[in-house]
Chains A and B, each alone.
Chain A
Amino acid sequence: MNRFLLLGLGTIAGVILGAWYGWSVSPITYTETSPDELRPEFRADYVLMVAETYSSDRDLGQAAVKLSRLGQDDLAGLVRQVAQAYEAAGYPQEDRDRLNALANDLARYSTLPSAAP
């Protein structure tokens, strides 16, 4: 009886240790990810980089292609969302201006009348 008690106690302690190790010390890591899986702060920075590049090259098509990597259909909404988050976080005005400019151009582009089927 005594040995079963010791075995049980050891097992319980082992489970706790194993779970702690698996969650905290050496958690599962993810590789070969895609941009839509980026952490929110990196997604936001990715959007800002696209807006910064767009402010120089004015290539809306390239900007849209890059933004589409983030897996969201409403690209203008995505950029506007980041602009709002940056405004709330107190980021520089020029960053927000670039984001808003891109969002506006994307919105204008996406609402152009399409060719009749």
Chain B
Amino acid sequence: MKKLLPYLWTVVGLLLGFALGLGYAWVIQPAKFRGAEPTSLQPVYRGEYILLIASAYQATGNLEYARTRLALFPELGPDTLSSLAQQVVAAGGPQDAARGLARLSVVLREQTPSPSVELALATSRTTPTIRATITQESTLALTIPFLPTATRSPTIMFSPTTNPEFVLISKQQVCNPLIVPPLIQVIVKTADGRGVPGVQLRAQWEGGDGGFVTGMKPELSPGYADYTIEPGKVYQITIGNGLTVVRDLTAPTCPAATPILGGRTPVTATGAGGPFTGSWRLEFEMR
């Protein structure tokens, strides 16, 4: 024991000195602040920064810059971006940013290896496999900032490339009992059949309206969007700059469902086997 005593004094000295050194380095003379990273911003500024990345991408289409900028936020995967786009649209945030987020979500998803999802649009709401692909990142909430508008444009300005024409090429009822609640499904494609993300749509009915945008469910199609409708209400869908309007859409009543899914009759809102409320599917071509 006597032999160990000198070492004990050394250990005591080390501990005491370590505490003093740490106090000096953390309190008295902390490491020089070389500036903050975007990830350390307050939530509201962080949200603003992310929306700025999306707006800049929407403005320039420069994917390389967008990827580099998004790399600062490792939690921002395609699902999260899609979710954020929905939040921005739902909160009436900047449209350019919402479009940019939706486009980025689609582009990044195409470049990210993921389990392939073979999914018919008709079963989008009820197929369990699609839910399995949604990772926990999609639950991230963003504080969406709304900048005070110093100068408000009386009309939205469109450049020729952002003012395309949308032509309704197909409008059909969808009688699929698996789609619950009923939807207005919209698919926007280019002439060569590619889905177009980031197209703004507006649903209006007596006493209300709401916005939605294509590209929120890129696992179905980049040009896909849907809006939940209520039976008995008459809806009007406006796409893009408002020149193309589809009127008088009411949720159709479909005849009794035939047994599917291995012989079992699916349970509908009106009970198993009875008539049920259907949906609409609209297809637009962007020219």
Q: Mark B24-57, 1 if CB is under 8 A from A, else 0.
A: 1110001101111110111001001100110110
Would you call A37 and B56 a contact (CB within 8 A)? no
Q: Mark A38-66, 1 if CB is under 8 A from B, else 0.
A: 11101101101110110111111110111
| CB of B21 closer than 8 Å to a CB of A | yes
Would you call B35 and A39 a contact (CB within 8 A)? yes
Are A30 and B59 CB-contacts (below 8 A) given A7-B13, A22-B22, A22-B26? no
How far, in angstroms, from A53 to B45 measured CA to CA in the complex?
17
| CB of A6 closer than 8 Å to a CB of B | yes
Q: Which residues of the other chain, B, contact A108 by a CB distance below 8 angstroms? A: none
Would you call B150 and A64 a contact (CB within 8 A)? yes
How far, in angstroms, from A56 to B94 measured CA to CA in the complex?
13
Would you call B59 and A18 a contact (CB within 8 A)? no
| CB of B69 closer than 8 Å to a CB of A | yes
Are A11 and B22 CB-contacts (below 8 A) given A45-B69, A49-B52? no
Q: Which residue of A15, A39, A49, A58 is within 8 Å of B56 (Cβ)?
A: A49
| CB of A111 closer than 8 Å to a CB of B | no
Would you call A42 and B21 a contact (CB within 8 A)? no
Would you call B150 and A61 a contact (CB within 8 A)? yes
Chain B contributes a number of interface residues (CB within 8 A of A) equal to 54
Name A's interface SS: helix
Would you call B16 and A35 a contact (CB within 8 A)? no
Which bracket fits the contact residues of A? 35 or more
Closest to B31 in A: A27
Would you call B40 and A33 a contact (CB within 8 A)? yes
Would you call A69 and B9 a contact (CB within 8 A)? no
Q: Which residues of the other chain, B, contact A77 by a CB distance below 8 angstroms? A: none
Would you call B21 and A17 a contact (CB within 8 A)? yes
Would you call B13 and A14 a contact (CB within 8 A)? yes
Min CB distance B254 to A, Å, is 44
| CB of A13 closer than 8 Å to a CB of B | yes
Are A3 and B40 CB-contacts (below 8 A) given A10-B17, A57-B59, A66-B48? no
Min CB distance B101 to A, Å, is 13
Q: Which residues of the other chain, B, contact A45 by a CB distance below 8 angstroms? A: 69
Closest to B68 in A: A45
How far, in angstroms, from A117 to B62 measured CA to CA in the complex?
45
Q: Mark B1-25, 1 if CB is under 8 A from A, else 0.
A: 0000111011111111111111111
Binding site for A on B (CB under 8 A): 5-7, 9-26, 30-31, 33-38, 40-42, 45, 48-49, 52-53, 55-56, 58-60, 62, 69, 96, 147-153, 157, 159
